[in-house]
Structure 1
Amino acid sequence: MVHHPMLEGILLSECERLRQRSLANKLISLFRQFGGTELRLKLVWLCWLDLMTGNCLDDWTENLKRKSEKELEEWIINRQKQSAALTDLMDQYVLLSYRTTVDDKRT
């Protein structure tokens, strides 16, 4: 079993609870593809947003897997433009995640 830290693991558990196994599988694939990057952390927040607001999940289940890293960066930037408050939260989460990783390596 792969370890999925923090919100990522909770998101995958919620997908399973909602019987969204296809979505969970696509997310796991995206997380592996962009593991250890800021993109992965931001994908978690954006997927949570879509699940909570009932947005269409087609990007998650069909479209994102075909994007290059650059295309995915552009997609994330466009999504972030929709909400300055969400962007601030995402940026704080990224900083916290990296800070936690650095602190863990010191001990």
Structure 2
Amino acid sequence: MDNSPLLNHYQIWLDDFTRINVFHGLCHQQITQWHRLTITSCLIPEGHSVEVVIPQCLLPLTRTGLIESCTTIPRLTKNIDYSLLPGVLLSECYRLGKSRLADQLQMLFRLHARPGIRQTLTLLCWCELVTGKDMKEWYELHLSLPDTLKQWLAIKQRAYRGLKALTDDYIRATRPV
């Protein structure tokens, strides 16, 4: 395991949840391939670079590279309301000072509980976050009707070559056995 307290913190937490979910048949064993985390650097709209924990599978899609060692020793948090990748993403949003984005994601998770929406929002949000996209349009998504949200997600996914296929595979792996 990496010597980064930040990465180890999330990876151990995610591994624990993953192991429990697989054991109880709540998801497929293949889920572990999506649950390998790494650290990358991204430029945030405020103009400086920050280190962000991200699933390794998203690195090629976001065209970001991994950081060998993270020097950040942040205030470590865990969003325990959501497990697996959504919980890690929400925790990262809070750690990065993006509590408004985390609150919005949680609202979207509650409003749009159809299968696959949470996973799609999670992976897309991570891509947008690490590529430094302006997240303003995310703050109004709770106003969208389900079909409008689905169309918006499809359009946004096209910006990341391979994200739709990766998301579909991830959704299948998160389904109960």
TM-score above 0.5, yes or no: yes
Aligned pairs for 1:40-79 within 5 A: 40-61=118-139, 63-79=140-156
CA distance in 1, matches of 2:82, 2:155: 26
Instruction: Write the letter of the residue equivalent to 2:148.
Output: E
Aligned pairs for 1:16-95 within 5 A: 16-61=94-139, 63-95=140-172
CA distance in 1, matches of 2:138, 2:131: 14
Residue of 66, 69, 82 corresponding to 1:4: 82
Gap runs ≥5 in structure 2: 1-78
1:97 maps onto 2:174 in alignment: yes
Larger relative helix fraction: 1
Percent identity over paired residues: 32
2:123 touches 2:167 (CA, 8 Å); kept in 1? yes
Deviation of the 1:66 alpha carbon = 1.0
Greater CA drift, 48-57 or 74-83 = 74-83
CA distance in 2, matches of 1:89, 1:22: 27
**For the aligned residues, what is the CA RMSD?**
1.6
Deviations 1:33-72 (A, max 9, x none): 11252122101111001111000101112x2111000000
Q: TM-score, normalised by structure 2?
A: 0.52
The structure that has the greater radius of gyration is: 2
Q: TM-score, normalised by structure 1?
A: 0.84
Q: Structure 2 vs 1, CA of residues 48 and 27 (structure 1 numbering), >3 Å: closer, same or farther?
A: same
Larger relative strand fraction: 2
Greater CA drift, 79-88 or 23-32 = 79-88
CA distance in 1, matches of 2:157, 2:107: 22
Gap runs ≥5 in structure 1: none
How many residues align? The count is 99
